[in-house]
Amino acid sequence: MKRKRLIMAIATLIIFIILDVLVVSGHVHVEFPWSHIPGFFSLFGFLGCLAIIYGAKLLGHCWLQRGEDYYDKDDEHE
């Protein structure tokens, strides 16, 4: 199961890299440092997604997340 997933992921990546080389590279309107890295947006999507998941979790667990009654405790005077 795990191996199948990995093979699929790599296959998709290869297809996109080929498409990038064939189609995109020739038609860049504006040059950026990443414009000539084939499959850049695949990598960016993959790593960006993991970064958001783990970045948010880290931020939440270490700092920002509290129990659901966090603010209700302030309303004891009511």
Partner 1 sequence: MSNFPLAIIYMLAAIILPLLPRQIRSAFYLIASVAAFVFLINLEAGASLGFHFLNYELMVCRVDRLSLAFGYVFVIMGFLGGVYGYHVKDALQQVVALLYVGSSLGVVFAGDLFTLLFFWEIMAVSSLFLIWARRTQDARKAGFRYLLVHAFGGSALMAGILLHLQQTGSLLFTHFDGGVASYLILLSFALNAAVPPLNGWLPDAYPEGTVTGSVFLSAFTTKVAVYALARGFAGMELLMWAGAVMAVYGVVFAFLANDGRRLLSYHIISQVGYMVCGVGIGTAMAVNGATAHAFAHILYKGLLFMGMGTVLYATGRNKMTELGGLFKKMRLTLLFFMVGAFSISGVPLFSGFVSKSMVIYGAEMEHLGAVVLLLNLASIGTFLSIGLKLPYFTWFSKDRNLKPEPVPPGMYIGMGLTAALCIAIGVYPALLYNLLPFEVHYQPYTASHLIESMQLLIFTGLAFWLVMKKLHAEAMITLDTDWFYRRPSRLAFAVFSVSICEFFGAIERLSLRLARYLVRFGANPAGYAVEATKNARHVLLHTEKPSPEPPSFSPDRYRIPLGFMVLVVLLLLIVLLAWDFLF
Q: Which residues bind partner 1 (CB under 8 A)?
A: 5, 9, 12-13, 16, 19-20, 23-24, 27-30, 32-33, 39, 41-53, 55-57, 59-60, 63-68, 70-71, 74-75, 77
Minimum distance between the CB of residue 57 and partner 1, rounded to whole angstroms? Answer: 8
Tell which residue, 15, 18, 36, 16, has the closest CA to residue 27: 36
Per-residue tokens: 47: 């790593």
Minimum distance between the CB of residue 3 and partner 1, rounded to whole angstroms? Answer: 13
Distance CA 18, CA 23 (A): 8
